[in-house]
Amino acid sequence: MNASENQAAVIVGIDGSQASIHAAQWAVDEALDRGIPLRLLAAIKATHPSNEDYYRDLKHAEASLRAAEAVVEATGLPVKVETEIHRGQPAAILVSESRDADLLCVGSVGIGRYSRALLGSTATDVAEQAHCPVAVIRSQPDQSRKQINWVVVAVANNANDTVVDQAMSEAQLRRLPVLAIGATRQGMTDTASDDLDNRLKPWRRWYPDVHVYPVATGADVARFLHDNDESWAPLAVIGSDDAGRLAEIIGSHPHPVFRRSEASVLIVRQ
């Protein structure tokens, strides 16, 4: 397998699942935008009880990487693809590799009652421990839906400029509008709306092609998405301080509380 040590890359964890393949597809634009390679990384166990078990594990990893690489190549986009196989615990490997990465992407099928288990310990551990931004990507949703697509981000008072800037950059890259939510103060909704508009002025100037829609609300991203089931957001951008709330945003389709089953999440290091 190809390998490039200590070279910046967009890294995608590949495990053979459709979710990880879709994460690789999603990451193509990220690598192209940065002008760096897309590195597909698979992990096998550190130890094996027999040679047969080792070769079975290795063949699965190789086949998973070939499938992901084929899907990336099918996009026809000129991205440089590298593949690597590491031995060890997947989350620990990805966290270690994130030290030199620009972005780390993992797939998720969503979460339900046992959120951490169903989201996957790899996704949750990486989201909370990685040294670079992390994108947790949901499997591709039903494209027949007609709702408006949004990049959703919370705008705080001078506290999360890096997060907002990354949301704007993603919206520009993916040609989506931004839904910028800001907290209101009781009895001062108009003032809060004006404050939010003022906070957004620099980004409107820096990203003139991105349409920004401010919404003054008392909710954070997780609560806003839960309370507004009629609007669909393919990407929510949050800060690393909120990584522990990943389960509330990803959601699972049948879960009666978490309804954001199609949302992917980008966790930005602040």
Phi and psi at residue 130, in whole multiples of 5°?
Answer: -65, 155
pLDDT value of position 157: 67
Residue 225, SS3 per DSSP: helix
Give residue-wise pLDDT tens across range 145-170.
445 688 999 987 666 899 999 999 99
Q: Which residues contact 102 (CB under 8 A, 6 or more apart)?
A: 8, 9, 10, 30, 34, 36, 132, 133
Determine the pLDDT at residue 218. 74
Percent of the chain beyond pLDDT 90? 51
CA 261/CA 24 separation, integer angstroms: 19
Q: How confident is the model at residue 40 (pLDDT cuts 50, 70, 90)?
A: very high
* pLDDT score of 110 more than 80: no
Q: Choose between 197 and 256: higher pLDDT.
A: 197
What domains can be seen in the chain, in order of their start residue?
9-137 (3.40.50.12370), 150-267 (3.40.50.12370)
pLDDT at residue 147 in the model? 58
Helix 90-97 vs helix 121-129: crossing angle, to nearest 10: 30
Report the distance separating Cα 226 and Cα 70, nearest Å.
36
Name the nearest CA neighbour of 30 among 7, 9, 5, 15.
9
* Sequence-separated (6 or more) residues with CB below 8 Å from residue 47: none
Q: Determine the residue type at 57.
A: D
Containing 142, the helix (H) or strand (E) segment is none
Q: Whole-number mean pLDDT of the chain? A: 82
pLDDT of the residue at 120: 56
Q: Would you state the pLDDT for residue 245?
A: 78
Label the pairing between strands 264-268 and 134-138.
Answer: antiparallel
What tens digit of pLDDT does each residue of 88-97 get? 988 899 999 9
Choice between 236 and 110, residue whose per-residue pLDDT is larger: 236
Which span out of 61-75, 125-139, 147-161, 211-225 was modeled with the highest average pLDDT? 61-75
pLDDT at 108: 80
Q: What are phi and psi of 75, to 5 degrees?
A: -70, -25
pLDDT in tens, 167-214: 999 999 999 999 999 866 555 555 578 888 888 999 999 999 999 999
DSSP 54-122: HHHHHHHHHHHHHHHHHHHHHT-----EEEEEEES-HHHHHHHHGGG-SEEEEEE----SSHHHHH-HH
Write down the pLDDT at residue 111: 39
State residue 112's pLDDT score: 39
Mean pLDDT of 242-247: 80
